[in-house]
C-alpha cells in the first residue's frame, strides 16, 4: 500500500485526547508470578545488543530471557523452578486480592485521564476469553476472570477513558522461533504469515466489539500479511474501529502504516518528540511488569514523577505511566505512594496541562532545572530548587501571579521576572504569571 492510501485514514484528533496529558499503563500477566528481571537500567540508555536482552530489565520479557543460554534469568529459573514450563505461571497466577474498583480509585486520585491495560503481551496469554486461545487465557485458567472487562468497568465508573494494549508484533506461543537477542531480531524473528494475521485480527476485533476502547495501543508491529486494504486487512480494521468509536485513537506501532499519535519509551525513540502528537511511556521503575528486584532507588517517587511529567508536557507530549501489579492483584505500596503523592501535587494545577501550548523546553535557570508551560492566559514556570530564578519578563505581568505549588514569591525587576523559592512541596514549584 502507498503512503497516500494510509494517509486517507487521517482525521482530526479527538478533543478528549488532545486535552489528555496523563494516562496509566498496566502490565499484568503470568510474568507477575516470577516477577524477576535484572534492574540494569532504562531503555535507551543501554546498548541494544546481548547486554540488554540477556540481562533484560523488563520482567514481562521473562519468557524470552530465560530461553537465552547463559543468561542470569535462565540460571534463576532453573534454580527456583527447575525445568517447569512458563505456562505453569498461568496456573499459579490467582489474582486473589484484585480489586478493580480500588485500582480505578487510585488512578483517579493520581489525576489520570485514561487507563490502558495489557490484554495480551508477548507471551500470548490473553486476559480475556479471546477467540482461538482455547484454555490459554485468564477466564479458563489462573485467575478465572475476565480481567479486562473488570478493569474497563471500574475505570469507566471513575469517569476515565479506557484503552487496550495488544501485542500484535510478538507472540512467543504461536511460533517455534529462537529467542530475540537484539532489536533487529525483535523484528526479524516475529510472526508475519496470514494465519497469525487472522489470529491477531480476531483478537483486536473482539476487543473492539466487547469493550469499545478509546485507545488501541498495539506493540512492536503488525504481521506483514495483514498490511493491506482488502478484507481482513489492517486498513479495514482501522476503518471499522473509527466507525465503532469516532473518539478512538491508535498509536504508531503497527509498522509503517497509520497512526494518530507517536510514542517514545523511556528515552528511546526520542525523535518522535518532534511530531505533532506524541506520548511518552515508562514504568515507575525500569520494568513494566512487577519486578521484585527493584529497589526504591530505581523507582520514581512523587517529586521525580512530577518533574518527568512536567518535562514531557512542556515538550508537547503526554505521559502513559505504567504500574506493575503483583500476581495477587496488588499494586505495590511504593508505586501507590508515588501515584498518590503525584496526584496531591498535580491537583493544584487544575486543568492547565489541557491548554498548554508547545514551547522550547530548554530553559536553564542559574544552571538549575526549569520548565515552562504557556496557556492562552498564563505562563507557568516550574523550578525544582530553592533560591532565586530570573526570567525574561516579556509578555507577562509579574504583579499578577499565582503560586500554585510550593513556597515562592514573584516580583518584577526591570525587564525580568524574579521567582524566589523558599521551599518545594512534593514536586517542582509552579508559578503562574498572567500573559499580557
Instruction: Summarize pLDDT for 30-89 with one digit per residue, the tens.
Output: 999 999 999 999 999 887 767 899 999 999 999 999 999 999 999 999 999 999 999 999
Q: What share of the chain is helix, strand, coil (3-state, %, to 5)?
A: 30, 20, 45
Instruction: Tell me if residue 151 falls in helix, strand or coil.
Output: helix
Global pTM value: 0.97
pLDDT for residue 366:
62
Are 279 and 264 spatial neighbours (Cβ–Cβ below 8 Å)?
Answer: yes
CA distance 387 to 259: 44
Run of H or E including 345? helix 333-347
* Per-residue model confidence as pLDDT tens digits over 197-248: 999 999 999 999 999 999 999 999 999 999 999 999 999 999 999 999 999 9
Residues 6+ apart with CB under 8 A from 62: 31, 34, 36, 37, 73, 77, 86, 289
Helical segments of 131-220, H only: 147-157, 183-188, 194-211
Residue 44 to residue 52: CA distance in whole angstroms: 10
Are 390 and 427 spatial neighbours (Cβ–Cβ below 8 Å)? no
Q: What is the DSSP letter of 371?
A: E
304-353: pLDDT as tens digits: 999 999 999 999 999 999 999 999 999 999 999 999 999 999 999 999 99
The stretches of 71-112 forming alpha helices (DSSP H) are 72-81, 88-92, 100-109
DSSP assignment, residue 370? Answer: E
Distance (Å, whole) CA 154 – CA 333: 20
| Residue 434, strand partner residues | 378, 397
Q: Shortest CA distance to 309 belongs to which of 325, 324, 320, 294?
A: 320
Q: Does 3 score more than 70 pLDDT?
A: no
Residue among 80, 43, 38, 76 at smallest CA distance from 59: 38
Return phi, psi of residue 47, to 5°: -55, 140
Rounded to an integer, what distance in angstroms lies between the CA atom of residue 285 and that of residue 348?
Answer: 25
Amino acid at each position: 500500500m502507498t503512503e497516500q492510501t494510509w494517509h486517507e485514514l487521517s482525521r482530526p484528533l479527538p478533543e478528549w485526547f488532545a486535552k489528555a496529558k496523563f494516562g496509566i499503563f498496566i502490565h499484568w500477566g503470568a510474568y507477575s508470578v516470577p516477577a524477576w528481571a535484572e534492574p540494569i537500567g532504562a531503555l535507551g540508555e543501554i546498548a541494544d545488543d546481548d547486554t540488554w536482552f540477556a540481562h533484560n530489565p523488563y520482567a514481562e520479557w521473562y519468557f524470552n530471557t530465560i530461553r537465552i543460554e547463559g543468561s542470569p534469568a535462565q540460571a534463576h529459573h532453573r534454580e527456583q523452578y527447575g525445568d517447569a514450563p512458563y505456562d505453569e505461571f498461568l496456573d499459579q497466577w490467582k489474582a486473589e486480592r484484585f480489586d478493580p474498583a480500588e485500582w480505578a480509585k487510585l488512578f483517579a486520585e493520581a489525576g489520570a485521564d485514561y487507563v490502558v491495560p495489557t490484554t495480551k503481551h508477548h507471551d500470548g496469554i490473553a486476559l480475556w476469553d479471546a477467540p482461538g486461545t482455547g484454555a490459554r487465557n485468564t477466564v479458563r485458567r489462573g485467575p478465572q476472570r475476565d480481567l479486562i472487562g473488570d478493569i474497563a468497568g471500574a475505570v469507566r465508573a471513575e469517569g476515565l477513558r479506557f484503552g487496550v494494549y495488544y501485542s500484535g508484533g510478538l507472540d512467543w506461543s504461536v511460533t517455534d522461533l529462537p529467542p530475540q537477542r537484539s532489536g533487529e531480531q525483535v523484528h526479524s524473528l516475529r510472526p508475519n504469515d496470514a494465519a497469525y494475521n487472522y489470529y491477531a485480527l480476531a483478537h483486536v476485533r473482539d476487543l473492539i466489539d466487547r469493550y469499545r476502547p478509546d485507545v488501541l495501543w498495539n506493540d512492536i508491529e503488525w504481521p506483514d500479511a495483514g498490511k493491506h486494504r482488502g478484507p481482513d486487512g489492517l486498513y479495514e480494521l482501522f476503518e471499522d474501529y473509527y466507525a465503532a468509536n469516532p473518539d478512538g485513537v491508535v498509536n504508531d506501532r503497527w509498522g509503517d502504516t497509520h497512526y494518530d499519535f507517536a510514542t517514545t519509551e523511556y528515552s528511546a525513540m526520542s525523535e518522535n518528540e518532534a511530531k505533532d502528537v506524541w506520548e511518552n511511556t515508562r514504568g515507575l521503575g525500569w520494568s513494566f511488569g512487577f519486578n521484585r528486584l527493584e529497589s526504591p532507588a530505581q523507582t520514581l517517587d512523587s517529586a521525580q514523577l512530577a518533574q518527568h511529567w512536567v518535562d514531557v508536557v512542556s515538550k508537547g507530549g503526554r505521559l502513559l505511566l505504567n504500574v506493575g501489579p503483583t500476581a495477587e492483584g496488588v499494586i505495590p505500596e511504593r508505586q501507590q505512594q508515588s501515584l498518590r503523592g503525584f496526584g496531591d501535587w498535580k491537583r493544584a494545577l487544575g486543568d492547565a496541562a489541557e491548554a498548554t501550548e508547545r514551547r522550547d523546553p530548554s530553559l536553564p535557570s542559574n544552571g538549575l532545572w526549569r520548565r515552562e508551560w504557556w496557556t492562552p492566559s498564563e505562563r507557568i514556570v516550574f523550578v525544582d530548587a530553592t533560591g532565586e530564578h530570573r526570567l525574561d519578563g516579556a509578555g507577562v505581568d509579574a504583579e499578577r501571579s499565582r503560586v500554585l505549588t510550593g513556597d515562592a514569591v514573584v516580583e518584577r525587576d526591570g525587564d525580568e521576572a524574579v521567582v524566589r523559592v523558599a521551599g518545594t512541596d512534593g514536586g517542582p514549584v509552579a508559578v503562574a504569571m498572567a500573559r499580557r
